[in-house]
Every structure is written in C-alpha cells, then in structure tokens.
Chains A and B, each alone.
Chain A
C-alpha cells in the first residue's frame, strides 16, 4: 500500500491532503453521533416510521406479507442461485441482523426469526424439486406476490378476519415500498407498450407514443403529483366521490415512470440486430409472436441494469409524495418533527431516514451489479 499511496511526491501530497480532509470531516460527525445526538426520537417513533398509522391489531398482516417475502426470496434463490455465495448468505441473514436493533419488541424479534426460518426452509425444500418446475414455481410466485400482498394489506370490507384498512392509514416505510412496488409493476408493461408504439411503422401510433414520452420526460415529477392531486378529480364526472389520495399519487407515479421505462426498453429494442426480426419472419412467426418470443426477451434482458437503476430511482422518487401531504417515510419524519416533544431533532431523524433509503438503494444496486455480472451483460 505504501507503494501506491506514496510512490511519488504528487501521490504523497494527495494522500496527506485526503487524510487531513477525512479526519476534518469525521471528527465532528463521530462526536455528534456518539455524544451530541438525541437518538431517543427514533425508538419512540419507530412504529410510525415503519408503518404509519396502520392499526396495531392488524400488524400481523404486515408480518404475513414479510413471511411471504421471505418465502419468495427462498424460492428465487433456489431457482436461480447458482451456488451458495456471500450475497445469498447476507440476504438471508438480514432478518437476523435486524433483530439486533435494541429497541425492537419481543414480538418483532420473534417475527424476524420466523422470517429467517421461512426463507431457509423454503430454500432447502425447493432444492429437491427438479430445475424446470422450480423456475416455473418461482416465476409464478413472483408474479402473484405483489397483487396478493396488496390485497392482504388492504383487506376487505366484508371480511372479519381481514377488515379494510383504508389507504389513509398506510404510512412510513410501508407506504414508500407500496408506492414503489405498484409503480414498478404497472409502469413496466405500460412502458413496453409505449416503446413498441414508438417503434411502430404506423404514424399515428408512433406520434401518440412520442408525444406522451417527450411530454412526461420533460416535466418534473412534483408537477405531475400536484397535477394529479388537483386535477384527477376534475377528470371524472361531477359528483363522483373523491378519489383516494394515495391512488392519485400512484397514478402520477405510474404515468411518470412508464415514459422512462419506455425509453430504456426502446434502447434495448434498438440493440437487437435486424437479423433477429428477419429470421423470425423467415420462420413464419407473426409480428406478435416474433415480438413476444424472440425480440422482447432479448431486448429487456439487455437493458436490465438500466431498468433496475430506474426502479431504484423510482423508490427514491416516492419521497416526493411527502410534498403533496402523503405520510410516506419522509412525510412521517416531517410530522414527527412537528411534535413539540421532539423539537430540534431534525438531524437525527433525517439522518435515519436517509440511512434507510440508502440501505435499500445500495442493496438493490449491488444486487443488480451481481445479476449483471452473472449474466455477463457487461462490456467486452
């Protein structure tokens, strides 16, 4: 290391300057973290940060969704994991690491342990199923999972076991994750359609797609969110009951993200050599068949890293709903700071919120880099 850091007068100066910079910035930070900060605000409001005002009696449904997530993770690793590597161990160990948080209740710790057990058991059991049905099961699980948990979390009007929990009570990290998931699930197909429309030879469809994509990409998301809150109600006939505010935000997010997905998929479509289209037609496949079986799978696989990057951006962008009054993770943080008990704890609360976002985003981008390396979609 000495050779690298001090192998010339320029490098030596750089190293010393960098060290000085690091020490200068870390000293006040470390002293604040360990002595000056009022960390009590976090454990006191942990439930709010995690799930907003979701009723305490129904929290078991949230844990159920997390068990299902653990099961899906186990299935996914069993289906596509090539070998037991470090990333997999870390993923499974996450519930165990979270158990170390000092302020969690005993039930929370027990639930986390169950999550870990479910993931491991699913993984081990699924390994006994031969490969092809295993992959099929994993794909079905992934497709079914998101609509299923939205139903579980929302509940039903008529049910006694799972009564309706209106979306006005969803908040905190729960709401942020739900907004992102709904955004991704609905914007991706719409984006594919738009990309295909943009590639179309029919001028009317191409023009409509282009107008939509360029319009949405040219305006900030916050303006779409405001527009959604103010104008979506006006689009429906006079007298319709007010639409759920979370639904308005979801519509804005889906419409916004679809345009960006469309551009990414279009880049993928353009990378497919013409020979593929020609070969498909030579084989007698119709336009629809050649698209769905030949072109789209290749196009989408080629742009997976970019798409994942965009989805990470979507997760971070859901924080903007705090500015239209929804109580997502950031919104709840601001309302916590409005509480006179916790006056002056801005730094602590915002640092923790930023940390939570950071952990999720970094984990997703790290996973994407792993997938990219595994499928060798990188450069030559």
Chain B
C-alpha cells in the first residue's frame, strides 16, 4: 500500500519527465528557428545596407513612379507615386479575379453537368475538355493563347467583326471592342430602383420561406427572388425610358480611321488572361462539381422519386444542398488558385499586382524586402480571408459525427 502511494506521488527524474521534456524541446526548436531567421535577417540587412544605404524603408512609396501602366481602373499617369501604381496593379488583379471567378463558376458548372450527361457524345466532349486543360501547365496555355491567338489578330482595318450590326464586336490587335452602355442622368435613379427591387425580393423570399415552412410545401424561393428583382428592374427601366431618359445608352464601336470609336475596348492582354484563366480553372471546377453531384448516393434520388418529387424538385431540394456541402471547400480552393494564378499576367504583359510591383517597381527601386512584403501580404490577406469564410461556412453545415 505504501508503495503505491509512493509511486503515485513520486515524479520521474526531470530528464525523463514528459512535461519537462516537452517544454525543453519546444524551447530548443523555437530557439533554433528564431536563431536561424535572425541570422538570415542580419545577413540580408547588412547586404542591403551595402547596396542601398538603408535596409528597410517604405518611404519609396511616396516617390514618383515614372513609368506608364498599360491599363488601369483609376486615374494614373507617370507622375503619380509608387503607391498609386501599386493600387492600380491591385485593382487590376481584383478585376481579373472577380470576373474570373464568376465566369469560371458558370463554365465549370456547365461542363461538370455535361460530364454527367447520359448523352454519350456530350459527356465525351466534356471529358476531352477536362482532360485537355487539366494536363497542360497554365503558363504554357496562357503564353500560347496570348501569343499565338490574341496577338495574331488582324489590324483594326481588317478586324474580325462578330454579330454585325446589332451587337458588333470588333476583334483586332488593338483589343476587343464591344458595345457598352454609357450612364445617362437617370442612371442614379435606376440604381435606386435596383436597390429597392433587391430589398423587395428579399422580403418576398423571407415571406415565401416562412409560408413554406408553415404549410410544408416549399415553393421555388430562388426563382421568385430572381423574378421579383427582375420585374422591378424592368419596370424601372421602362418607366424611366418613357418619362425621362434611358438609364444606359448603348454605344457601338465603329471603324474610324486607324481605330475604333465608341463602345468599350478590352485590351488583348486582359482578354487573353481572363479567358485563359477561365478555360483552365473551369476544367478543375467541372471535376469538383461532378464529384459533388456524384457524392449524393443513389438512394437519395430513389427515395425522392418514391416520395413523388419531380426530377427538378429532386435536384433542387435533395441533390443540390447535399452536393453543395461536398463542392464548396474544393471550389473555394479553386477560386484561390485562380487568384494566385492571375499573377502569371506577367508573362503576357497585363499589369496586375505582381507585374507592376514585383517586377517594375522592384527593378526600379531595388527595394526587395518592402515590395515582396507588400505583394505577398496582399495575396496572403486574400487567402486567409477566404479560408476564414470557408471555415465559418464549413462549421455551420458540418455533419455532426462522432
């Protein structure tokens, strides 16, 4: 008896005590890592001091940039600061990422559903598309797409014109010119109509969901949401057109001298980057969508049919929500890949964040640490934000298991 009491009170000698060993090992590891990082940092600071005088100094952002940027969403000229050039690059990246995500999702869903089609030809076409774009590197695709296709478009005088004359799209080596809308004075009022329509549609959706829960028959809420919003928008458009002015007047591009006038011109680099990224990432999204839809067991569909649900209802109420649970995590990681891959714009001359900051600004100022910190900080922030949102979503829909 006394032995066991002694055994439970006594602790092993400290070099075998697990808790102390754990603490000591952590201290050693952290010391090694911090020591190594400090060593590298010191070397870098010394080397930079020799080269440039000051090691870390963000003041260069206030200097004049002195270089032009091909395209920009905000006002920019070469007399602006580096900070402004940085913003231009950032906005360009965000623009490509935003549009890329939207189009990739649409195209990816289409191809994913095509892959699952019972029509042999349709599913084979989707298979060829997926296998083609998944097995070639994005950089090769982008460079081929830009150099061999877009840059080879004819001069403006011999431009390829699509959909003449109602919606002419000019394809030339100056870019893609498409009809665009110019806001008139009623544009602000129309935006108010849109916001009002959105609010009304949300109210309608909430009421419909409540009604569905009470009666046990869920109506097609998303359809009614879209229909309400669309109805208000269309009503607003015609109302404003009749009484005042059209909110948007369409300008069509037309040949004028050596250029096109009117409409909006999208540069070749932008179109090449956007379409290349969308084509590439859509193949991966298609696989994700296919895996998601296939993950819903056959029993679910059979049970739904046994309950008397129509094909479309089965899809909407049974398959889609369960498939979504499997689709969302890899889908968000594909969105992240798209954003990170947009940095390859440097290969085809589109001035995105990496091309402007990582290349031009870095070459001109030589401030490696500052520039890389800013650039990687932006990508990192975007990544972490998306991961955070995805984790929140995951936790909410997670199946509670053992």
Interface of chain B, helix or strand or loop or mixed?
A: helix
**Residue of A with least CB distance to B297:** A380
Counting CB contacts under 8 A, is A236 at the interface?
yes
- Nearest chain B CB to A22 CB, angstrom units: 7
B-side contacts of A1, CB under 8 Å: 120
Contact segment of A69-77, A159-167, A223-231: A223-231
CB-based contact A354/B136 at 8 Å: yes
- Residues of B124-173 whose CB lies within 8 A of A: 125, 131-132, 134-141, 143-144, 147-148, 152
B-side contacts of A222, CB under 8 Å: 343-344, 346, 354
**Residue of A with least CB distance to B41:** A235
CB-based contact A15/B144 at 8 Å: no
Contact segment of B21-29, B214-222, B230-238, B316-324: B21-29
A-side contacts of B125, CB under 8 Å: 18, 21-22
A-side contacts of B131, CB under 8 Å: 362
Counting CB contacts under 8 A, is A264 at the interface?
no
A-side contacts of B312, CB under 8 Å: none
CB-based contact A357/B147 at 8 Å: no
**Residue of A with least CB distance to B118:** A4
Count: A-B pairs, CB below 8 Å = 153
Cβ contact of B119, chosen from A4, A218, A350, cutoff 8 A:
A4
Tell me the complex Cα distance, A164–B139, Å. Answer: 32
A14-B121, A231-B372 are known contacts. Are A323 and B29 too (CB-CB below 8 A)?
A: no
CB-based contact B137/A357 at 8 Å: yes
CB-based contact B43/A234 at 8 Å: yes
CB-based contact B121/A15 at 8 Å: yes
Kindly name the residue among B119, B132, B148 whose own CB sees the greatest number of chain A CB atoms within 10 A: B119
CB-based contact A214/B139 at 8 Å: no
Counting CB contacts under 8 A, is A281 at the interface?
no
Tell me the complex Cα distance, A204–B136, Å. Answer: 40
A11-B119, A222-B343, A354-B144 are known contacts. Are A208 and B372 too (CB-CB below 8 A)?
A: no
Tell me the complex Cα distance, A219–B387, Å. Answer: 13
CB-based contact A223/B354 at 8 Å: yes
A238-B46, A319-B137 are known contacts. Are A15 and B119 too (CB-CB below 8 A)?
A: yes
Tell me the complex Cα distance, A25–B40, Å. Answer: 55
Cβ contact of A230, chosen from B29, B50, B362, B376, cutoff 8 A:
B362
B-side contacts of A217, CB under 8 Å: 383
A11-B119, A219-B380, A230-B368 are known contacts. Are A203 and B26 too (CB-CB below 8 A)?
A: yes
A-side contacts of B375, CB under 8 Å: 223
**Residue of B with least CB distance to A204:** B26
Q: Mask for A185-226, Cβ within 8 A of B = 1, else 0?
A: 000000000000000011111001000001101111111001
Q: List 24 A-B contacts (CB under 8 A).
A: A5-B120, A14-B121, A18-B122, A19-B121, A204-B26, A214-B383, A214-B384, A220-B343, A223-B358, A223-B372, A231-B372, A233-B47, A234-B43, A234-B44, A234-B48, A234-B368, A316-B135, A320-B137, A320-B139, A347-B148, A354-B141, A357-B137, A358-B132, A362-B131
